[in-house]
Amino acid sequence: MKSLTDAAQNRLGKYLRQVRNYLRAAKSVDIDKVEQNITGHIENELAGVAEPVSTDVLNTVLVKLGSPSHWVPEEEL
């Protein structure tokens, strides 16, 4: 993962905690795999971005990824 500013690291941590909270109720989902998927998407989106990555840049990526609840399969909501 690219180097993030402290604020961006905190923002990412909050997003991932929210995802984990939503996924706890989803029995068919591997939470660790989803988190790996999310961080993989973030890494791809941040390719070529200067480090440390700011909160504004990270937020743009997180908006593309959608709400943390987006990662829960619809049938499990």
What are the tens digits of pLDDT across the range 33-61? 999 999 999 999 999 999 999 999 999 99
Structural domain contains residue 27? yes
Structural domain contains residue 22? yes
- pLDDT score for 68: 93
46: three-class secondary structure by DSSP: coil
- pLDDT grade for 77, boundaries at 50, 70 and 90: low
- pLDDT grade for 27, boundaries at 50, 70 and 90: confident
Q: Which residue has the tokens 């995802």?
A: 19
| 52: containing domain | 6-66
Question: Is the pLDDT higher at 30 or at 28?
Answer: 30
**Structural domain count, the chain:** 1
Structural domain contains residue 73? no
Give, in degrees to the nearest 5, the angle at Cα 55 between 53 and 56: 100
Structural domain contains residue 71? no
Nearest to 20 by CA among 72, 77, 64: 72
Nearest to 8 by CA among 58, 47, 44: 58
User: What mean pLDDT is reported for the chain?
Assistant: 93
- pLDDT score for 74: 80
